[in-house]
Amino acid sequence: MAPERPSRRKATRSKGHSESSSKVGKARRSDRTSAAERDLDQVSGTSSPRRVEVSLGQVAPLIADALRSGRCWLQDFADDTVTIDADLYEILLAYAKLRRQDAA
C-alpha cells in the first residue's frame, strides 16, 4: 500500500488561514490607527464627542463608588453636561432641598 499523500485541501486551508490572519492583523492595526486619530481629533477639538446611552442603574452605583472612594478621575468630568429626564431632575431638586432642610 502506498503512503498517504497530504491533501491539497489542507495546504489550501493553511494558506487561507494565513491570509485571513494577515487581514485580521491589518484590520486591528487600522482600528488602532483610527482610534488614535479619533483621540487626536477629540483633543484638538476637531471632532464631535462620542455619545453613549446607558441606564441610570448602570452608572449610578459606579459614580457613587467613585465619589465615596475619592477617585480623582471623576473630577475630570465635573464640568461635563449630562442629559436626564425632567421628572428625575425635579426629584433630585426636591431631594436636595430636603437635605438642606435636614442639615439646618
For the chain, residues with pLDDT lower than 70 are: 1-33, 42, 45, 47, 49
pLDDT of the residue at 26: 61
Q: Per-residue pLDDT tens for 59-83?
A: 999 999 999 999 999 999 999 999 9
Cα-based torsion angle of the residue sequence 86, 88, 90, 91 in order, rounded to the nearest 10 degrees: 170
Amino acid at 30: S
Helix intervals (H) in 45-85: 56-69
Residue 5 main-chain phi, psi, to 5 deg: -90, 150
Domain boundaries, the chain: 9-103
Distance CA 93, CA 91 (A): 5
Amino acid at 29: R
Please give the model's pTM, rounded to 2 decimal places: 0.50
